Amino acid sequence: MKRIRKDELYGNLGTFLKAKGIELKEGSYSQRIQKTCGLLTDAINLSESGLERAKQEIDRKLEQMRQVIHEKTAPKQSAPPAAAKPKAAKKKQPAPKAATKPAPDRPRNSRKGR
């Protein structure tokens, strides 16, 4: 919104009243009305600038809130399978048997001749 000049509100009020048949002449009443219009103009301009700052702050906080909601509700990325599964408890292995003969070496591919 554009700022209102000090004399703009008083001039518009004078034009409005003149259209209704009332003319503001120089005097104590018109001076008081002019001062009041000046105060009203200041109040309007200050409140407008305050509202603009409040709007900017609300927009900033709203964007932060949207970002947090997005992060909390976004689908989780899948982790690598090794890291995703917890390690199972280790089972105890039986103790090795004592004094066994080693197996004779066999060829690995025993189907060659068949």
Residue 39 is predicted with a pLDDT of 95
Does the global pTM surpass 0.85? no
**pLDDT tens by residue, 61-80:** 999 999 999 999 988 877 66
Contacts 24+ apart (CB under 8 A), 93-98: none
Give the burial class of 54: count Cβ atoms within 10 A of its Cβ; 0-12 exposed, 13-18 middle, 19 or more buried.
exposed
The residues spanned by each domain of the chain are 6-75
